[in-house]
Amino acid sequence: MDGNVAHGDVLTHGTRNSFIYSQNKLVSTVGVDDLVVVETKDAVLVAHKDKVQDVKSIVNELKNQNRSECKQHREVYRPWGSHDEIADGERFHVKHLIVKPGESTATQLHYHRAEHWIVVQGTAKVLNGERTYILSENESTYVAIGSPHKIENPGKVDLHLIEVRTGSYLEEDDIVRLEEYGVGY
């Protein structure tokens, strides 16, 4: 393989003595030598193999620019499961949430954002304001700004849902926890 090490969805042509790692997307190289290419959900790094030690200068520059990539990974693990940021814009964020069987998020509310939840797989027990109800696959609900809410997985398989946040302020510090879980959401 021309001295290459490849992991994941990688296609090379005329590439030699390179390390190519793909976590999510197809990574293709053509006519290059002596590279390190690393693709993750958060970022892509391309470096000459003799300069990999200089990566810390890129990390320092990310910190200087106050970039989110150096503060928190795109995929975040919690005691109840995980969430992966799929897309974001000025007035929206989209996340894929996985809630483990028997687990739940903390009861919380937000002052600046509403949330829309769509169940992709599994069953969700939802607290939304004064109501508690069940959502099954392909069902959805709307959580208004200021409404106390919580998601629980009463099932035996992972609960997968898509969360769409909309509003004027979408940061993680717009959370008032009414019931603690241990580690924040």
Show me where the domains of the chain are located: 5-69, 75-179
pLDDT, tens digit, 9 for 90 and up, residues 92-114: 999 999 999 999 999 999 999 99
Taking the complete model, does pTM exceed 0.95, yes or no? no
Q: Which residue has the higher pLDDT, 155 or 75?
A: 155
Q: What number is the average pLDDT over the span 63-82?
A: 84
Q: Which whole-number Å values give the CA distances from 52 to 32, 33, 37, 70, 177, in the listed order?
A: 16, 14, 10, 18, 42
Place of tokens 């700004």: 145
CATH of the structural domain 75-179, one choice from 2.160.20.10, 3.40.30.10, 2.60.120.10, 3.40.50.720: 2.60.120.10
Q: What number is the average pLDDT over the span 114-141?
A: 98
